[in-house]
Structure 1
Amino acid sequence: MSAVPGDLAAFLVEAKRRTYAGLDDDATVAAPLLAGAKQLEHRAAPYAYRDIYFGMGFFAGQETVSRDERVIWSMSYSGGVDAGIGDRDTFLAIYKFLRQALLAVSVERPYRGPHLFEQAGMIYRNEVEGALGRFHGVETIARQNGAPLYELRYSGGLLR
């Protein structure tokens, strides 16, 4: 497997904070590559980050990082709020909480959010195996009483 560029993790943290985690869907580009998709982008030479996803209650997407116009890293993901949640205010509160957790992304774990984040009566957990070159994980949000609210599974790594 190729060596991970030393600055890739720092770029991923910056890109994630400047797209969905920091701006929600307001970071969406006007004309996404795929009809009906949300597409978020961030550039800082020599890297370019792109996150394309479909759906909201349940969604699926892919993040890519290009270096000098060649995709070198990717992460696929899918998940969403518990199917039993129909209340719009609860739905929006879960995603607001998720964005707060995702803002706490670190260079040591640049995939999604931190291992544990608690706020507003909710608990975010992120369990990941592997390293930036090849990894998979699951993030969950639950009420403090343990009631599940959200789950997302993800995997990715360096392309070769």
Structure 2
Amino acid sequence: MSSVPHDLAAFLVEAKRRTYAGLDDDATIAVPLLAGSKQLEHRAPPYAYRDIYFGMGFFVGQETVSRDDRIIWSMSYSGGARAEIRDRDTFLAIYKFLRQALLAVNADEPYRGPRRFEQSGMIYRNEVEGALDCFHGAETIARDDGAPLYELRYGGGLLR
């Protein structure tokens, strides 16, 4: 197994808070590498973080971390709001809530959000297995009455 750089988790937390979770698409760069994608970036040498995704209602993406210009860690993800949700206000409320949950990311599990987060009549849950070098998980959002609103699956780890 590769050893995890001691400061990688702290860098991931900072990068996630300074991109989608904290700034939404305001963190998007003007000319993404892949046409039609959203691309968010954060740098704190020797690390650089990049998150590229496609879609909105249902989306697919990949985060990478490079150290000295060599990609060392990656996470892929896919998911989104339930297909039956078409109301724009509900849609926007779900993603606003998701960003609040993602802001609560911590260095113990710096993948998505915390294990549980509750606010505005919604509950975010994140179940993850593994460690920073090799992990997978799923996050869900439901109304506090249990009605499902959103689901995402993710996985990744250190490249070797």
TM-score of the superposition, structure 2-length normalised? Answer: 1.00
Matches within 5 A, 1:5-24: 5-24=5-24
1:41: which partner in 2? 41
What RMSD over aligned residues (CA atoms) do the two structures have, in Å?
Answer: 0.3
Amino acid corresponding to residue 95 of structure 1 in structure 2:
Y
Counterpart residue number, 2:30: 30
Q: Within 2, Cα distance between the matches of 1:42 and 1:26? A: 12
State the match for 2:105 in structure 1.
105
* SS at 1:26 equivalent: helix
Aligned residue runs from structure 1 range 61-100, under 5 A: 61-100=61-100
Provide the C-alpha distance between the structure 1 equivalents of 2:100 and 2:62, rounded to a whole number of angstroms.
20
Superposition deviation, residue 105 in structure 1: 0.2
Deviating 4+ runs (over 4 angstroms): none
Alpha-carbon distance between aligned partners in 2 of 1:120 and 1:84, rounded to the nearest angstrom:
21
- The alignment of Structure 1 onto Structure 2 pairs a total of residues equal to 160
Segments of 5+ residues of structure 2 without an aligned counterpart are: none
Match of 2:99, SS? helix
Q: Quote how far apart the aligned CAs of 1:49 are.
A: 0.0
Q: Normalization by structure 1: what TM-score?
A: 1.00
Contiguous gaps of at least 5 residues in structure 1: none
Q: Percent identity?
A: 84
Q: State the 1:121 CA deviation.
A: 0.2
